[in-house]
Structure 1
Amino acid sequence: MKVEDDLAVMAHNGGTGITTVDVSDPTDPEELAFHDAHHVHNAFLKDGYAYLTISESDENTFSEARTDIVDVSDPMDPKKIGEYRLADDFPEFAAGGLARTTTSTSKTASSIRRTGMQASSSRT
């Protein structure tokens, strides 16, 4: 579970998605919505966006590894707005089942822009 201000995001490890939760009263958390995303391994929350690490794969461990970007500014209606796929910029790592420990900022930014999201975390 990740928390930012009064919002928590719970990933269902290896499961079917994330749940947004209002934690403005920690003694009485309120489930707000569920966002379907198969094979979510973890989720991170920053500036109204949830970044979901997806470990879906076929024969190779990282063949379909990706990060989904979900706008949770309206936690009652989370919406996927982009994704970054390891195979798009590093196909040899995805095909070989190897994880890359560092990524190129320019490659990451260009991949995110291809899906319609700006690389900046600032919001308008």
Structure 2
Amino acid sequence: MQFPRLLNIATKVVKDTLLSLPTNIRHEAEDCRIEFSEMDALIDIDEDLDPDLLGLFEGNTRSDPLPESPDEMPRIRLFLDNLWDECGGELSTYRHEVRITFLHELGHYLGLDEDEVAELGLA
């Protein structure tokens, strides 16, 4: 599937997911930028990225002090080509994986570590 179609689907899934969250968490999430990327396009730019990543949280968590520089601003990146590949081309599975991956990375933004995110069923 082509990236524009994956992007449209992922954007709707993330929007719907945000709307389903409790109001206080939804408001917390407003300060975190969400980006949709293709890993294939980034791997040549950033060799430190795991080529199999589905999502990534970068920057200061909600509990950290205010960022001192733009590169510390919170950001969630979802790698749509990897998510699509992970799902074997199944559209319903893709939607589910986008949602789970977004919530997993949002958990990191809210200050949860890997174990805490896993306890919520978002691993």
Q: Same fold (TM over 0.5)?
A: no
Structure number with greater CO (CA < 8 Å, separation at least 6) is 2
TM-score (norm 2): 0.31
Larger strand fraction of residues: 1
Larger radius of gyration: 1
Higher helix proportion (structure 1 or 2): 2
TM-score (norm 1): 0.30
